[in-house]
């Protein structure tokens, strides 16, 4: 019996890059390179951002706004067995969506907390033991809590 060995030979190669930068009279900067391997790209029309390859922006404008929700969410009992209760305090009187998601990203429950309701009990006996994420959506915020089912 003959044994055939298949393999791959990898040769060391160098990919060199070159390019340049052009600035027009209005201050628009165009930077380009040749030789960078990439399949990624970006195009935004309003403020004209064009990107391709691995070049980094000379100027980056970002705006991050981190805010705390204007309400407090508590979940009890945690860990739970048959049910748990979501309690919301200091909340604006608006409907809130409740989602329970498994750690695999599967939506397993979706319900609503009515505007004048401060708590809701959710039956949980039929779900398998494990850790779940409870998300509460309001108009301006998403709050995520962890619940453990024993």
Q: Which domains does the chain have, with CATH numbers?
A: 72-149 (2.60.40.3080)
- Please give the pLDDT value at position 145: 93
pLDDT tens for residues 77-114?
Answer: 999 999 999 998 876 778 889 999 998 889 999 999 98
pLDDT over 70 (residue 69): no
Cα 89 to Cα 86: distance, rounded to the nearest angstrom: 10
pLDDT at 64 over 70: no
Burial class (CB in 10 A: 0-12, 13-18, 19+), 76: exposed
pLDDT at 29: 66
| Distance in angstroms (rounded) separating the CA atoms of residues 22 and 15 | 23
Strand blocks (E) in 4-104: 18-23, 29-34, 41-44, 49-52, 72-76, 83-89, 96-102
Q: Of 137, 134, 129, 142, whose CA–CA distance to 100 is shortest?
A: 134
Residue 101's closest CA among 46, 72, 142, 60? Answer: 142
Residue 35: in which H helix or E strand, if any?
Answer: none
> Does the pLDDT at position 38 exceed 60?
no
pLDDT category, 141, cuts 50, 70, 90? confident
pLDDT at 57: 47
> pTM for the full model?
0.54
Would you state the pLDDT for residue 111? 94
């Amino acid at each position: 019996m003959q044994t055939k060995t298949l393999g791959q030979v990898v040769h060391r190669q160098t990919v060199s890059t070159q390019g340049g930068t052009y600035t027009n009279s209005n201050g628009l900067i165009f930077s380009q390179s040749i030789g960078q391997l990439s399949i990624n790209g970006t195009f935004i029309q309003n403020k004209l951002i064009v990107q391709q390859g691995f070049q980094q922006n000379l100027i980056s404008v970002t705006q991050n706004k981190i805010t705390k929700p204007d309400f407090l969410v508590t979940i009890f009992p945690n860990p739970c067995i048959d049910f748990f209760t979501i309690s919301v305090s200091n909340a604006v009187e608006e409907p809130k969506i409740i989602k329970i998601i498994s750690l695999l990203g599967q939506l397993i429950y979706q319900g609503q907390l009515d505007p004048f309701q401060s708590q809701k009990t959710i039956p949980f006996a039929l779900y398998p033991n494990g850790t779940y994420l409870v998300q509460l959506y309001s108009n301006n915020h998403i709050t995520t809590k962890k619940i453990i089912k024993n």
